[in-house]
Amino acid sequence: MSGWRHPDLGTEIDRSKPLTAEVDWTKIRGFQGDTLASALLASGPRTIARSFKYHRPRGLYGMGAEEPNALFDITRHGTTIPNERATLTPLTDGLKARAVNASPTAERDRARWLDLLHRTIPAGFYYKTFMAGGWHLYEPRIRAMAGLGRLDPNTNPPADTPTRSATCDLLVIGAGPAGLAAAKAAAEQGRAVWLIEDATYLGGALRWRGGEIDGDDWTDFARATDTAILNSDGRILTNTTAWGAFDHGLIAAWQRRVDHDVHWRIRPAETILATGAVERPLWPAQNDRPGVMSAEAAHHYLTLYGAVAGRQLLIATGSDASYATAAAFAAAGARVTLADARDVSPDAPDGVRVLSRQTLQAVHGKTETWGATLNDQYHSADTVLVSGGFTPSVQLHCQSGGKLDWNAEKDALVPRPGTSHMKVIGAANGTFGLGPALAEGATAAGGLAPDTPDGTNWRWHPARPDIDASGRIWIDLQNDVTLKDVKLAAREGFTSVEHLKRYTTLGMATDQGRTSNFPGLAAMADATGRSIPETGTTTFRPPVRPVPLSVIAGRRRGDLFNPLKRLPLEDAHRAQGAVFREYGGWLRPSAYGEDEAATIQAETKAARDTVAIYDASPLGKLDIIGPGAQALLDFAFYNRLSTLNPGRARYAFLLRESGIVFDDGVVLRPSDDRFVVSASSSHVDAVRLLLEDPRQGRFDPSQVAIHDVTQAWTTLTVTGPRARELLAAVGIDVDVPHMGVAENTWGDAPLRIARISFTGDQSYELSVPLPHGPALHARLDVALNAVDGRWIGLEAVMILRAEKGYIVIGKDTDGLTMPHDLGWGGPRDIRGDEYLGKQSLFTEAAMAADRRQLVGLSTTNVLPTGAHLVPLDGPCRSLGFVTSSYQSPNLGRPIALALLEGGTAMQGAEIGVFHNGDVQRARVTQACTFDPEGERL
């Protein structure tokens, strides 16, 4: 127990609002403004986590997304989110946290014996060892021991994160000194600036380090920036992470709010990146002991939350930055020793013992820290703060294609200017210290450098892992990768950075290698005798830190994921007991009754015995209008349509240029220069665009227009032997020939009657403008009852059309089906003019006799749709498959349609149907099995 709460310090906590949370079933206290990490630190326990592979005791190390250890499953208001970082989790009252990868608790983890086996489980151990008999034999037990948090399968966070789009003149990412200076300078020029900050408050490191800018405290400068941004129509988003840089400058940002989060898609004219840097650790033996912390993080906890990391501190550093940290801890009442790796170092702060030319060789401790060895001398300490310099946070620069250059003077990989669309400033650019950061920020936005007395550029001793050092040294704390693993990878030839990552998993954890990529790279460079730039850098991909999938998905979930189209008459159908299902993006009645299977059979029979009505409104209605209409349709369709007389209708196919059937439907010609294309209901949009292609690219678009009026009309189809009788009762003129179309009126409503049939019985498609739909529905319903007819759903229609061998595109055809495979070879053999797909119908493959062709199948049972057809003798291979299969109440037996290799020539033959390992027999028939002469039409 070492951490404690200072009685006075803490600029960002509200001591009048105490909070209580529960960590591994132990109560901890904190204040409004705390993070879970700061509350844990102030509460004292050191071992708060277990490591990923060896189950080593681990403590808090960092302060943000770089935290490798303090991962918890967090439960708030009954919802559990796994693997949250304590450093990024605001403390809330009643929050429950459970350490990941530990059971029952991090302190008393049952799997801690695994660490004793560390010599036998180096990198690659699992790959090399668990091969005999197959990995799957071992996987369940290994997975149960490894891994991170627990996902509650019942977790279903609400889809309450809206996505909002925005543009601005300048986007500044990061509100530390450099970002503030850039944003202020740009806003003062009148540019609309958006400033995004990960933390709750502006200031970056100024928040804990403090500083004087333009003669006043830095907070005045931050307030002036705030005012300048708001005055120039800009915006400040705090608690917001810019998590991804995408094509054409798009920045995705996740804003965390109390009520609901917001996902921003920002398209700035210009972007400035000021995302700061992450402190590097040091690499003594046992550097993973609880009580070893980033010096910068400890400084941050001290100032912002009054959470003091320990009472007896050893600060091991080679960096100017640590002197202010040492001073702050001494002032807070801790005993502080600062061990600098350098020979010459700045003056010792008050109350700090400074030792120079010190190398931190080992940390001593187990579940807590007892001391450390410096230059072979033991020093007692309850906390070891480390600083090995800083690594610029360049993720967004690299995500947008930016390159890095090694800069030996800055001891860092820094952005190469001009390789991404962003300007990178401040610590992210390797520019450290308040004065230089302010100057670089202001200059990037065309302003003048603010004045500050703190003009020093931080310097540090370039610290690296010593590949000859003894003891266990961790490079990647989160994925438990040691220096030994890196050396093993080098020996085994995995020397490129990408191979190193994949072999050892270095840098592949959810901290994305923030503290481990650099030392891993440096160690590999050393082990292979290369320089850091020769060894290379890894690729950065979004997101820069874990983002909940619910944020990215936004509201596109559940009913809003892929909204269905609804029938205007839906309520009327529901009132009649309709069951609704999705058909091609539309919600339509499948049957009118609860017992669906029986109802479907009864509806199918009624449609043949008396009369039935179904809602065919989704059927496509593309108006093709103008003097150029017939030329366009002749080219676009496989069947010639210019020869269609006004008042008539024709069944026709649309092909792709590949000759494959794309859609079928009836084309009506109500008058000389107007056609109506009844595209399949699920294909209307695609057919419209397919027709637009030649309209715009081949013909004079001023001569023909295409209007999709599908959803402006209600279409009810009356079908059956008593259809005429019913319509006569309603007062609708039925004097329309088969394949004829007439435009009349019904009362004061325009009425289009098309006598075309998808059922094989006399059918009348009645179309009225939407407002007249309910009246037509109500009138037909009365008449329907009088002749003992029924409303029927789509399932009955499917059986009726299958009895007739009528196809559904995409169900009875596939990506190879050409019109002659369906018995429609006529136009190909007759037409001499050009049309879509023509050339493809004459290739060798298109002319082959063994193409899959549409047939019917006769059996004693209902065949499974999709079952393959196989030869009854000889080697088993697929000759095709069942496309549609139903029990026909009108024929009193099962019916099926199939695509069968050479099927046209196989009428009457027997074929095998393969399903679940069994082969049964079926007889090949014509596709049409009901009223083949068409006498009922």
Partner 1 sequence: MQTFPCPFCGPRDETEFHFAVEADHPRPENAPSDLEWAAYLYAVDAPQGPAREIWLHIPCGEYFVMSRNTRTRDVTASEALR
Quick one: 266 or 293, whose CB is closer to partner 1?
A: 266
Select 836 or 882, whichever has its Cβ closest to partner 1.
Answer: 836
Q: In the 8-state DSSP scheme, what is residue 239?
A: S
Nearer to partner 1, 247 or 873 (CB): 247
What's the min distance (Å) between Cβ of 78 and partner 1? 35
Shortest distance, position 697 Cβ to partner 1, whole Å: 6
- Smallest distance, partner 1 to C-beta of residue 119, A: 49
Q: Which residue, 265 or 335, is less far from partner 1 as judged by CB?
A: 265
Q: In the bound complex, what is the minimum distance in angstroms from residue 247's beta carbon to partner 1?
A: 4
Q: How far is the CB of 911 from partner 1 (least distance, A)?
A: 32
Q: In the bound complex, what is the minimum distance in angstroms from residue 848's beta carbon to partner 1?
A: 13
Q: What is the crossing angle of helices 684-697 and 629-636, to 10°?
A: 110
Distance CA 823, CA 825 (A): 6
- Nearer to partner 1 (CB atom), residue 265 or residue 311: 265
Q: Could you give the 3-state DSSP secondary structure of residue 601?
A: helix
Nearer to partner 1, 79 or 843 (CB): 843
HSE-CB of 776 using CA atoms within 13 angstroms: 32
- Distance between CA atoms of residues 91 and 307, nearest Å: 14
Task: Report the nearest approach of partner 1 to the CB of residue 658 (Å).
Answer: 6
Q: Is 843 exposed, middle or buried (0-12, 13-18, 19+ CB in 10 A)?
A: exposed
Q: Are 130 and 141 in contact (CB under 8 A)?
A: no
Amino acid in position 834: E
Cβ closest to partner 1, residue 291 vs residue 402: 402
Treating both helix axes as pointing N-terminal to C-terminal, what angle do 483-491 and 497-504 enclose, rounded to 10 degrees? 120
CB closer to partner 1 out of 250 and 355: 250
d(CA 522, CA 389): 13
Per-residue three-class SS string for 357-398: CCCEEEEEECCCEEEEEECCEEEECCEEEEECCEEECCHHHH
Shortest distance, position 532 Cβ to partner 1, whole Å: 28
Residue with Cβ nearer partner 1 (77 or 248): 248
Of 247 and 748, CB closest to partner 1: 247
In angstroms, rounded to a whole number, what is the distance separating the alpha carbons of residues 156 and 861? 43
Minimal distance in Å, beta carbon 840 to partner 1?
Answer: 7
Residue 849 burial (10 A CB sphere; 0-12, 13-18, 19+): exposed
Give 103 or 658: the residue with its C-beta nearer to partner 1: 658
In the complex, the smallest distance separating the C-beta of residue 246 from partner 1, rounded to whole angstroms, is 5
| Burial class of residue 124 (count of CB atoms within 10 Å of its CB; 0-12, 13-18, 19+) | middle
Chain-centroid distance of CA 492 in Å reads 36
Q: How far apart are CA 814 and CA 811, in angstroms?
A: 7
CB of 583 or CB of 835, closer to partner 1: 835
CB of 289 to partner 1, least distance (A): 45
Query: For 631, phi and psi rounded to 5 degrees?
Result: -65, -40
* Residue 787, phi then psi, degrees to nearest 5: -105, 15
Q: Report the alpha-carbon distance of residue 50 to residue 63 in Å, rounded.
A: 18
Residues 6+ apart with CB under 8 A from 105: 24, 25, 26, 99
Question: By three-state DSSP, how is residue 469 classified?
Answer: coil
Nearest to 281 by CA among 483, 119, 52, 99: 483
913, 857 contact by CB (below 8 A): yes
Cβ 300 to partner 1 shortest distance, Å: 35
Q: Which residues bind partner 1 (CB under 8 A)?
A: 246-248, 250, 265, 267, 657-658, 688-689, 692-693, 696-697, 701, 706, 834, 839-840, 843-844
Measured from the CB atom, the residue of 250 and 749 that comes closer to partner 1 is 250
Cα 331 from Cα 8, distance rounded (Å): 12
Nearest-angstrom CA–CA distance, 29 and 52: 27
DSSP 541-584: -S-SS---HHHHHTT-SGGGTSPPEE-TTHHHHHHTTEEEEEET
Give the number of other Cβ atoms within 10 Å of residue 844's Cβ. 6
Token pair for 455: 């003009």
- Using CA atoms, how far apart are residues 805 and 896, in angstroms rounded to an integer? 9
Nearer to partner 1, 136 or 248 (CB): 248
Q: Please state the closest distance from residue 842 (CB atom) to partner 1, in A.
A: 8
Provide, rounded to whole angstroms, the least separation between the CB of residue 769 and partner 1.
23
**Closer of 696 and 745 to partner 1 (Cβ):** 696
CB closer to partner 1 out of 487 and 688: 688
* Cα separation, 237 vs 256, whole angstroms: 10
Q: ω before 104 within 30° of 0 (cis)?
A: yes
**Rounded distance between C-alpha atoms, residue 587 and residue 585, angstroms:** 7
Question: How far apart, in Å, are the Cα atoms of 774 and each of 580, 589, 618, 767, 787?
Answer: 19, 16, 16, 12, 20
Residue whose C-alpha is closest to residue 477's, from 456, 507, 455? 507
Tell the smallest beta-carbon distance from residue 50 to partner 1 (Å).
Answer: 40
Least separation, in Å, of the C-beta of 834 and partner 1?
A: 6
CA distances from 107 to 52, 194, 311, 450 (A): 15, 44, 22, 49
What's the closest the beta carbon of residue 350 comes to partner 1, in angstroms?
A: 54
Pick between residue 460 and residue 637 the one whose CB is nearest to partner 1: 637
Q: How far is the CB of 19 from partner 1 (least distance, A)?
A: 40
Are 929 and 856 in contact, with CB atoms under 8 Å apart?
yes
Closer CB to partner 1, residue 342 or residue 421? 421
